[in-house]
Amino acid sequence: MGKEIKLALVYRDMWQSSGKYVPRVDQLCKVAQPIIDIGCFTRVETNGGGFEQVNLLFGENPNIAVRKWTQAFNDAGIQTQMLERGLNGIRMSPVSEDVRQLMFKVKKKQGTDISRSFDGLNNPQNLEESFKYAREGGMIAQAALSLTYSPLHNVEYYIQLADAYIDRGAEEICIKDMAGIGRPVSIGKIIAGIRKRHPNITIQYHGHSTPGFSVASSLEAARNGADIIDCGMEPLSWGTGHADLLTIHEMLKDAGFSVPDINMDAYMHVRALSQEFMDDFLGYYINPQNRFMNSLLIGPGLPGGMMGSLMADLENNLKSLNKWLTKNNKANLTQEELLIKLFNEVKYVWPKVGYPPLVTPYSQYVKNLSLMNVIQMEKGRQRWSMIDENTWGMLVGKSGKLLGPIDDVLLKMAKDQGREFFDGKPQSLYPNVLEDYRNKMKEKGWDTGEDDEELLEYAMHPPQYEDFKSGRAKEKFLADLEERKNKKAQANGMSIAELPRSIDVTIGDETYKVSISYPNSSDQDMDQEGSASSNNNGSGESGDFKYITAPIEGKFFLTKDSSEKGLKIGDTVSVGDTVAYIESMKVINAISSDISGTVVEVMANHGQDIEEDDQIIKIA
C-alpha cells in the first residue's frame, strides 16, 4: 500500500467561493450526516472566513449555526476546521487582541477543532497571537502560507516563511493557494522543502481550481509530502471553487496513494441537497461566471474566494458606470469589457502597491483600487484619484511590512496628504474593546450569551450584529431576495407590470412593507404602489449653489470613527479636503471635495444608502 492521503471537504469555502451566502442552519444540519456517510473525509471546513458575517446579513444567529452544524461531525469523530484572518479575526478589518483571544475560546467550545490562520501579508508577527490563543483555547493551530506568484514570492521565500510560523508556535502548515495560480512544480518544491526541515509536521494543501492548475498541484503536493488534500463537491466544484472529490480521489488512487473509499450514494445525496439549497435561495447570489474556470485569472491572480462576491459587486458597478456614460453620451460597457479592464489594471496596480499576496483582505484592496482606477479613467479622470482608507492603511504599514517597494507616485501622495508610515507591531494600533462592548450590551439589555459568544459576535461585527438584533438584516435580505427572484421572472418573460411593487415582511411581531425596484423600468411600467425613482444627480452648479456629489454608490458616513468630527453647516471646504466617506465594496472610501466654499446643507444622512452622482453636500 502507498502512503495514506487524507481528504478534507471545504464545504464552507465551496459556497463563499461561488457566491455571497452560505446555507441556513437547518440546511447545514440536514446535509451534515450525508457528508459523514460519504465515508472518506477526516476533516470538514465548517465555519470561519465570512461565515459568521453572512449569517448575520441574512438574519440568522451564527453562534447557533456553528454549534448545531459542527455537532454531527464532533459526534462522528471528524475534525472540524475554520478559517481565521489573524489580525482581522473573522472580519475584513483589524480587531483588538482581547476580541481575538475570546474568538478562539468560543469557537472551540462551539465545536471547531482546527484554526487555519493566515495573514494577508504573510506577516508572522500578526499570527503569533493566533497560534498562542488557538492552543490556549484547545484548538490545533494551523498556519496558512498565502500563496501568490510574483518575482518576490519564490520557493525559498515560502520554505523560510513556514520556518518562521513554526518557530512562533504553528502546529500544522497549510499551503493556501487561494487563487489557484501557484505553479504545480513550485508547490511540490515548497512542500518538499518544508517536509525536509520538519519531517513530522502535518501539511495540508488547499488550492482553488480557478485557472486550472489545482489537479496537477494536488498531485505534486501529495508526491512531495502533503498529508491532507482539500477538495470540493458538485454542484460547487471547479470554477472559482475547488477540484471535485471524485477527480482528486481517482487521481491519487491511480498514483498509488492509499485513499479511503467513497460511498457514492451518499455523495449523490449531498450533491442533490446542495442543489436544493441553491434552488431555495443561494443560487440567486451565485454568478454563472463563477462556475467556469478562467485562465485569464493567471495574470491578475485574483482568488476564488473573492471572485465569488466580485461578480455580484461588478453588476452594481457596471450599472452605475453605464448610467454615467449614458448621461454623458458615451458608449456603454458590457460586463465582460469591464472585467477585462479590471484584470489588466490589477496587473498594473499590484507591483505599484508592493506585491501584497492577493488574499483577503488585500486582494479586495488591490481589486477595489484597480476598479476605482478603471471607473475614474473611464470618466476622464486621473488614475489614483480615489484610494480608500483601508488601502492607505496597508500602504503606510499599519498591517505590517510589504514585501515589495511602493511606487514613487503613491509615496508622494502619502507625503502630500500628511500620512505617516508605521513600522511597529500592528496589533498595538487597536486597543482592547471587549469591556466597552460588554457595557453596551448591558445598556441595551442584551445577553452576552453562552461562553460570551454573543459578546464576541457584537465586538467582531458591530453594525451587522445591530442590524441582526433589530430585524433590519432580515428585512433587507428578504427584500433583496424577492427582488432577485422577480428579476429572474422578468428575464424569463414576465413584464414589469406583472411583478409586485412591494412585499410584507414579518419579523417577530412586527410587519414591514418593503418596496421593490426593477432595472430598466419606467414610470409607465409602475402602478400607484411604486414608481421608478429619478434623482437629479448632476454635479456642479445649480442656481447660486454648488454640490459635492457621490463618486460611487454605497453607504454614506460623515466620519469613519468616533474620534472624528463630521462636516456641519457653516464649515469652510477647500479643494482636496476630505468631507465624508462612502462604504462600498467592503472598504471605506474618502470623499474629497473638488470645489471650495461654505457648507449650506449636508444632504445625505449618516448611514444612508446613496447612489453614484447623488448630491450629498450643498456649497455656497
219 phi/psi in degrees, rounded to 5: -65, -45
Amino acid at 455: L
The mean pLDDT value for 421-435 works out to 94
The mean pLDDT value for 114-123 works out to 95
Q: Is 522 exposed, middle or buried (0-12, 13-18, 19+ CB in 10 A)?
A: exposed
The mean pLDDT value for 411-433 works out to 93
| d(C-alpha 324, C-alpha 537), whole Å | 10
Question: What's the pLDDT band for 348 if we cut at 50, 70, 90?
Answer: very high
The mean pLDDT value for 274-289 works out to 92
Task: Give the model's pLDDT for residue 522.
Answer: 42
Task: Give the model's pLDDT for residue 500.
Answer: 56
| 579 three-class SS | strand
Task: Give the model's pLDDT for residue 456.
Answer: 98
The mean pLDDT value for 556-581 works out to 82
pLDDT greater than 80 at residue 286:
yes
Paired sense of beta strands 545-549 and 615-619, if any? antiparallel
Q: Look over the chain and give the mean of its residue pLDDT values, rounded to a whole number.
A: 88
Helix H segments across 379-407? Answer: 389-395
The mean pLDDT value for 497-524 works out to 51
Q: Identify which has the larger pLDDT, 141 or 612.
A: 141
CA angle 336, 340, 341 (to 5 degrees): 115
Question: What's the pLDDT band for 535 if we cut at 50, 70, 90?
Answer: very low
The mean pLDDT value for 447-455 works out to 97
The mean pLDDT value for 493-497 works out to 56
The mean pLDDT value for 64-91 works out to 97
114: enclosing H helix or E strand: strand 114-117
206: enclosing H helix or E strand: strand 202-207
The mean pLDDT value for 226-250 works out to 96
pLDDT greater than 70 at residue 549:
yes
pLDDT greater than 70 at residue 569:
yes
Task: Give the model's pLDDT for residue 499.
Answer: 55
Q: Give the Å distances, CA to CA, from 87 to 44, 451, 509, 549, 579.
A: 24, 22, 39, 34, 29
Q: Say what percent of the chain tops pLDDT 90.
A: 62
Task: Let me know: does 100 contact 432? Beta carbons within 8 Å.
Answer: no
Task: Give the model's pLDDT for residue 520.
Answer: 46
The mean pLDDT value for 185-200 works out to 98
Lowest mean pLDDT among 169-178, 296-305, 387-396, 461-470: 296-305
Question: What's the pLDDT band for 503 if we cut at 50, 70, 90?
Answer: low
Task: Let me know: does 81 contact 114? Beta carbons within 8 Å.
Answer: yes
Task: Give the model's pLDDT for residue 495.
Answer: 53
pLDDT greater than 60 at residue 277:
yes
| 200 three-class SS | coil
Q: Give the Å distances, CA to CA, from 332 to 193, 373, 450, 474, 546.
A: 51, 17, 53, 35, 28
Question: What's the pLDDT band for 432 if we cut at 50, 70, 90?
Answer: very high
Cis peptide before 23 (omega within 30 of 0): no
pLDDT greater than 70 at residue 275:
yes
Question: What's the pLDDT band for 533 if we cut at 50, 70, 90?
Answer: very low
Nearest to residue 116, comparing CAs of 129, 102, 130? 130
Paired sense of beta strands 615-619 and 597-602, if any? antiparallel
Task: Give the model's pLDDT for residue 221.
Answer: 98
pLDDT greater than 70 at residue 586:
no
CB-CB neighbours of 506 under 10 Å: 12
The sign of the CA dihedral 386, 391, 397, 401 is negative
pLDDT greater than 70 at residue 377:
yes
Q: Identify which has the larger pLDDT, 506 or 279.
A: 279
DSSP character at residue 357: -
Task: Let me know: does 607 contact 556? Beta carbons within 8 Å.
Answer: yes
Where residue 131 falls (left for φ over 0; alpha for ψ -120 to 50; beta otherwise) is alpha
Set out the domains of the chain in order of their start, with CATH numbers: 6-286 (3.20.20.70), 295-428 (no CATH), 433-470 (no CATH), 472-525 (no CATH), 540-619 (2.40.50.100)
Question: What's the pLDDT band for 526 if we cut at 50, 70, 90?
Answer: very low
Nearest to residue 229, comparing CAs of 105, 453, 45? 45
The mean pLDDT value for 317-332 works out to 88
User: Taking the complete model, does pTM exceed 0.75, yes or no?
Assistant: yes
562 phi/psi in degrees, rounded to 5: -70, -15
Rg (CA), the chain: 25
For 22-45, the pLDDT digits (tens) are 999 999 999 999 999 999 999 999
411 phi/psi in degrees, rounded to 5: -60, -40
The mean pLDDT value for 390-418 works out to 93
Q: Say what percent of the chain tops pLDDT 70.
A: 89
The mean pLDDT value for 567-582 works out to 86
Question: What's the pLDDT band for 462 if we cut at 50, 70, 90?
Answer: very high
Q: Give the Å distances, CA to CA, from 393 to 390, 400, 587.
A: 5, 10, 11
Nearest to residue 308, comparing CAs of 215, 216, 145, 179? 179
Amino acid at 526: M
Nearest to residue 548, comparing CAs of 490, 601, 619? 619
Nearest to residue 117, comparing CAs of 188, 157, 169? 169
CB-CB neighbours of 493 under 10 Å: 7
pLDDT greater than 70 at residue 541:
no
176 phi/psi in degrees, rounded to 5: -95, 90
pLDDT greater than 70 at residue 82:
yes
Task: Give the model's pLDDT for residue 385.
Answer: 86
